[in-house]
Amino acid sequence: MKKKAKETQCVHYFGEKPYESQGINTPVEPASAFKYGEGMVNVYPRYFNTYNQKVINSQLASLEGGEDCLIFGSGMAAITTALFSLLNSGDHAVFYNELYGGTFNLLSSEFEKKGISFTLVNKQTKDAFEKAIQSNTKVLYFESPTNPLLSVVDIKLMVDIAKANGLTTLIDNTFASPINQNPIEFGVDIVLHSGTKYLGGHSDLSFGAIVSSNEIIKSIHSTAINLGGSLNPFDCYLIERSIKTLDVRVKRHNENALALAEFLDAHDKVKKVYYPGLVDHDKHEIAKSQMKGFGGMLSFELATQNQEDVNQFVDSLQLVCKALSLGGVESTICSPALTSHIKMTKQEREAIGVTDGLLRLSVGIENINDLKADFENALKVI
């Protein structure tokens, strides 16, 4: 059968079914003990091979254009498992420095203890990366778009550098989702997701995913079994339900975010908007060449840097909820200076563009005019 379009793949499951059921959805099988015997596979949740896990693996692999997938209890479990499977004591890794806070903490607090060294590169040039690569470098890791400033990393450039130096490439594709960006098509080896965000999409689930080739997934699988970050069948069921609407949700997130980015960009109380879909974003052309949509995340800086005004603005929003995390159907907003970047000094934060007036917005799927009206009203207050 010809591979179906993503909209169809989200709604229907085309993978193998271990048994027939008359229900049109996958039966939930809450078993931790499975029969064994001649000719039977040893099934166990922590072996990542239950029916409910395999349905998600197959669906996510297909949506990302990979061959296989493993799902975990959180995005960090997926990231940790992938990295610790590829890196051993004495190895070195190169990271593009705009990283999710949890990933940064993993490097800074766990790598040295394991005898793994790393270099953070802060410029997107071939030169900067080649300077960072050593004879013991094994992996090149990056995110795109990045948190919280929505920078875009040139995927082709990363793949070219990695290929020339024999490195395995990993991308955290959480912000884009498999609907907007499929890095495997550009030659990336491993795609990582915090499914807690867009894949789950309803702010009620925590999971993570690794998508890659059969060969790489096979090699990560044995580490995954040892680290034990597997997922339960009830969450698998919720993921399956979430994926059915992934394509429609993400398309609405894209539409709303672009419209809000343009609206805020034109507002005189807003100093700057960071959104890869805006034509004046410094990496807009690269974003256009590697993304099918620009995603539901945007950041903006208010003209005022006064923390009280910023707080008052956020508290005046009625529809948009002040909350951490992202990727849900409901719009949420947070101040990176007061949340993800609170441990940095004001100077350190400002050096990377995280000012007191910066706000990160996860644009939901509400009506766009209601969202604009909410911002218009809150901007009037300051």
Ligand X SMILES: *Cc1c(COP(=O)(O)O)cnc(C)c1O
Contacting residues toward ligand X, per CB under 6 A: 74-76, 100, 102, 143, 147, 172, 174-175, 194, 196-197, 206, 208
Say which residues have a Cβ less than 8 Å from residue 367's Cβ, sequence separation at least 6.
Answer: none
Place of tokens 């270099």: 119
- CB of 99 or CB of 337, closer to ligand X: 99
Catalytic: which of 13, 51, 96, 100? 100
Closest CA to 194 of 185, 205, 184, 180: 205
What's the min distance (Å) between Cβ of 278 and ligand X? 21
Catalytic: which of 172, 235, 247, 356? 172
- CB of 211 or CB of 270, closer to ligand X: 211
- CB of 62 or CB of 146, closer to ligand X: 146
- CB of 102 or CB of 187, closer to ligand X: 102
- CB of 209 or CB of 378, closer to ligand X: 209
What's the min distance (Å) between Cβ of 325 and ligand X? 7
Q: How far apart are CA 10 and CA 93, in angstroms?
A: 34
- Nearest residue to ligand X by CB is 75
- CB of 74 or CB of 232, closer to ligand X: 74
Please say if 197 is a catalytic residue: yes
What's the min distance (Å) between Cβ of 74 and ligand X? 3
Please say if 265 is a catalytic residue: no
246-265 helix and 368-381 helix, angle to the nearest 10 degrees: 40
Please say if 252 is a catalytic residue: no
What's the min distance (Å) between Cβ of 319 and ligand X? 23
What's the min distance (Å) between Cβ of 333 and ligand X? 15
What's the min distance (Å) between Cβ of 143 and ligand X? 6
Active site residues: 46, 100, 172, 197
